Structure 1
């Protein structure tokens, strides 16, 4: 159960991220369609208020005088009004559905595009399941609001206003009587709406928890972990508990305030009886109204109260939807901590030499007291092959993150050909640097689709050339479907080494002047690694190549080796220079950190 502090936090978040003006802005691009919808609603509302007057004419004029022609004419008029209302309703549904779907599409795309702009710092703490929940569950939950609710509100408001005017025209005394219970109903309705809004927010949080649990435990990695650890039943129990919490909140969301609704329904149901009682008393004692007027006013009252009840229900739904907007807008208001400069420096790929410099850079991860990189100065001339080695946590991979602007340095600068990388556009920087990491991500699709993700317009010959350079072409052509072979989620029908070779081919397809291999050969067997390393040195002949590795066989042929420890450079030089010194590199080669051989521990294969 939420505490009062939780309520305060929620109220602060809603006040910070959500306003009705901001929600209204979503509808501005569709103003002309909404205008047409309002026109349909106004026509239907005016037509609906005419019907009771026709009823009064039937009761007071046509029936007493037995004028069958007048009766036919009045009934025909009522039929025409019904046909008009049905036509307006059909057109209204058509236009509001288009508006609602367009708004949902725009909001989904805007949120997805914004999430793409956020740095790794955001994703280091955000849960994938929660992100998915906000894109699908939360925006999907707004569907009813933007598709139906707004139009329903306009329709019901127009009906209520038109009906009130018609009722006052018939008899102002009985009209005022019709509103005697309305203030109490509105007050009760606000209590219900506030309660259900908070429950909806809590419910969406629990749904996000459940979505994260499903995403984590029903992936291939999650299944392997659960079964090899003998924790399948534990995971089922966790999911059962989470699902039960969602079910309880679902029940609360639909039943909260039911006691108040009883009084609201009673207030609506009792009004016709009061009108008959008061109206009948006036008719009997004073004769100031006719029977037809009383019947017409009762008909109008029925037409008034049910739209009013719908507005009360809509108020609850709108308040519930506000909690969904709060979750979506919270992400949209998350500021990217890494952004492009207003006027990036244009750089031609063909003119880039690949001269890289780390100039007195420092960087600390959020929540860490100790810097990951501390005042590092490192110059890598164009075309040089350099290796970066060190213990786990020494800052090797952090350098690659900073160079590709997945994070930004806290101080100092990184430059390519003398240009600070922060002055380049993201697309330009991505075109200059290709990176292959240890944790290879393979898209679900064909091999061709995975390769062309790097270069959509690549020809088949270019795919083959990149695959041959990465020593994977022969493996692909041996498959029944060759380059059209489907890869499962995260490429689990490929071994770890095969996925890394595919990733290397994907990077080579882009032909960047600077290459970074971050433990890119760690999952390869010795023969394949030797072949890949030879290929790396061959393709890196005219490129600046940075190899981050633990294995001696990967780095020994590099022109320069840099040893990191605790985010600082301890020593650097050629392999022969460092191996003959009794320094940090010499100690690494005699430890398990730079073993000359390593077994291929990857599971599976094609």
Structure 2
């Protein structure tokens, strides 16, 4: 290892599971290969379970890095060429920059660059190091996007309003600059000598200045508040709209509670820009102006003021250098606390059933304690910063008074000039105090924008993108075709479904069976356009799914996933999903086809019965049939049902299937219950992402050993 510390760029992970991708992003950026963290999430195949060292090495080779993973002891790390990726606490990855004596420099994706002790390295290093360096095929790409560029892009539409606010700040500044000379005149003329004849006019002038100052301050505050509200609405609307337009793959890799926690960051960004940046830019101008005035009148006093100001700037750099780490940790711990709490309440029935209340309480309390610890860490630094800053101002005033008194005694200043200079000095130091605070907020700005941009920079779902040929939605009718379709969940791993070809004719009822993990649900989501294939094409009525109008797919394709999704709303709203074009007759017809209408009308409020969260006041079978009714609302020409009726009794299931047959729709039915799929025209048997058999129930019983095994297992259960 060289004696010089390797300085790697800061990359902050958005969630705990992407630490490996973030660590690789740091190493790539060090070698001038700038790849977005979102791209690396996909390349590494990050899921809610995270990523392992093997996936990271494969991703590194994809970008032209070479190297390998090694088992090592902490003593061996001093000889490792940096940057290197360390496995940390058996659940995290960090980047090693340097070991020197008892100090270890690491770049932690959770907090940023920091220094830890050699003792902490011994405790937390988990014995695996990944060493990566550019190969002959490595190519530099992209460029680092500065924070200024991100801010400029986001606030460009509000540039005019921000400029107007800046002008108001300048006007308020000019009014404030009249106070010191007026004070000098008052002290030197009215206190030290006889009262002049123009005293009334002078007092009237002071009164007018004070009134105008108050009016400008009121107008400035009112305009800033309206701008804050406007920006907050714009940012939140843009964020939520984009969030709802993202593909399913985005949400499958993230925790809902953590994503929702980012919505509040938009208001925080708007506040920082309307109340922080404009004022800070003005403070820079103010400091420059005051410095010129000081040097013009007295260089000694100017030296005192500027020395105090430089001391404040030193405090700003010193404290904020460590504060940013604590703030990033606070952001993540708060998000984890929200996510774990949301997950706990969402599964409260299971938790109560297995008597795990105390365990989950400890889990939430642990994350909450980490949040409090991170907040306290920030608080300690803020208290230290504000105390030193206040002490610096007081010390400056004392020194200024002493120096000023000496200058007055030398006859260079009047008492009025000294008093005016004290006012100027207070106005000169005030911007430094605000800049210190803004410097602290600026560190949070970097983290907040990264978390928001993780959503806004993600590509939207192809289905919601504008089509080349916009037209009137129409019900699609025709076969569903899979043509050499390949799909997987990790780009560097072999596809889960490989070169699958399947045609389901119009009106055909096809059942799909197979062992757990054979690809049945994945095939259903591909057919529902929730996932996009890596290779190959999926067509409906002779046209690729992603090229159809979204409204056409809405009325033509109905799908029910095995995970039930209900809203805390009325039964009617859960079926119609707030579509104002839906009539009561359509809702009732769909409920009858799902064999649910009679049970609904027996409820006290019928279709207006309010469901609890996730339909907690319905049975599992009722929930499944309610989702089926939602899928049948527009009488679709294609139905994709994934384990839709596994909680429904056989008689009701048979009645529902008769309704579906009379509908005349093409049906793709996925079920573990062979008694259900044997009612289909043909059955497709899948294993390890491939179709291994295709035919009617009787034929598969004779020709497929796997189907025979599945049938036997069902009979025994």
Alpha-carbon distance in 2 for matches of 1:393, 1:483 = 38
Which protein has the bigger helix share?
1
Change (3 A) 1:582 1:123: closer
TM-score by length of 1: 0.89
Cα pair 2:236 2:267 within 8 Å, conserved: no
Aligned-residue offset at 1:38: 2.0
Task: Identify the range of structure 1 (486-495 vs 375-384) with the bigger mean alpha-carbon deviation.
Answer: 375-384
Aligned-residue offset at 1:399: 0.9
Alpha-carbon distance in 2 for matches of 1:469, 1:31 = 56
Aligned-residue offset at 1:296: 1.2
Aligned-residue offset at 1:263: 4.2
In structure 2, what is the equivalent of residue 333 of structure 1?
457
Aligned-residue offset at 1:200: 0.7
Alpha-carbon distance in 2 for matches of 1:225, 1:128 = 19
In structure 1, what is the equivalent of residue 375 of structure 2?
250
Match of 1:5 among 97, 106, 126: 106
Aligned-residue offset at 1:405: 2.4
Are 2:540 and 1:416 aligned?
A: yes
Aligned-residue offset at 1:494: 0.9
Are 2:160 and 1:32 aligned?
A: yes
| Residues 272-303 of structure 1 deviation map (CA, whole Å, 9 limit, x = unaligned) | 33333333323323x23222212211122122
Alpha-carbon distance in 2 for matches of 1:265, 1:315 = 16
Alpha-carbon distance in 1 for matches of 2:288, 2:225 = 25
| Residues 211-241 of structure 1 deviation map (CA, whole Å, 9 limit, x = unaligned) | 111001112xx21122111111111122222
Aligned-residue offset at 1:110: 2.6
**Pairing of 1:23-422 with structure 2 (within 5 A):** 23-67=151-195, 69-136=197-264, 138-142=265-269, 144-154=271-281, 156-157=283-284, 159-161=286-288, 163-164=290-291, 167=294, 170-171=297-298, 173-219=300-346, 222-256=347-381, 258-259=383-384, 261-285=386-410, 287-335=411-459, 343-344=467-468, 350=474, 352-366=476-490, 371-422=495-546
Aligned residues: 587
In structure 2, what is the equivalent of residue 447 of structure 1?
571
Alpha-carbon distance in 2 for matches of 1:185, 1:493 = 61
- Provide runs of 4+ in structure 1 moved above 6 Å: 339-342
Task: Identify the range of structure 1 (272-281 vs 373-382) with the bigger mean alpha-carbon deviation.
Answer: 272-281
Match of 2:661 among 526, 537, 545: 537
In structure 1, what is the equivalent of residue 687 of structure 2?
565
| Residues 191-218 of structure 1 deviation map (CA, whole Å, 9 limit, x = unaligned) | 2122212211110100111011100111
Cα pair 2:513 2:672 within 8 Å, conserved: yes
- Partner of 1:507: helix, strand, or coil? helix
Alpha-carbon distance in 1 for matches of 2:199, 2:471 = 84
**Pairing of 1:463-478 with structure 2 (within 5 A):** 463-478=587-602
Aligned-residue offset at 1:452: 1.7
Change (3 A) 1:17 1:9: farther
Where in structure 2 are there 5+ consecutive unaligned residues?
Answer: 1-88, 95-103, 114-142
| Residues 93-127 of structure 1 deviation map (CA, whole Å, 9 limit, x = unaligned) | 22212222322332223333333333333322211
Q: Which has the higher contact order (CA 8 A, sep 6+)?
A: 1
Cα pair 1:356 1:414 within 8 Å, conserved: yes
In structure 1, what is the equivalent of residue 622 of structure 2?
498
Match of 2:672 among 550, 557, 560: 550
Alpha-carbon distance in 1 for matches of 2:467, 2:422 = 69
In structure 2, what is the equivalent of residue 578 of structure 1?
700
Aligned-residue offset at 1:583: 4.4
Change (3 A) 1:556 1:348: farther
Cα pair 2:235 2:267 within 8 Å, conserved: no
Alpha-carbon distance in 1 for matches of 2:176, 2:252 = 58
- Partner of 2:178: helix, strand, or coil? helix
Cα pair 2:528 2:640 within 8 Å, conserved: no
- Partner of 1:218: helix, strand, or coil? helix
What RMSD, in angstroms, separates the aligned Cα atoms of the two structures? 2.8
- Partner of 1:214: helix, strand, or coil? helix
Aligned-residue offset at 1:171: 4.4
Alpha-carbon distance in 2 for matches of 1:422, 1:115 = 19
Alpha-carbon distance in 1 for matches of 2:465, 2:587 = 34
Change (3 A) 1:342 1:105: closer
Cα pair 1:454 1:507 within 8 Å, conserved: no
Alpha-carbon distance in 2 for matches of 1:301, 1:175 = 9
| Residues 567-587 of structure 1 deviation map (CA, whole Å, 9 limit, x = unaligned) | 222222223433454644344
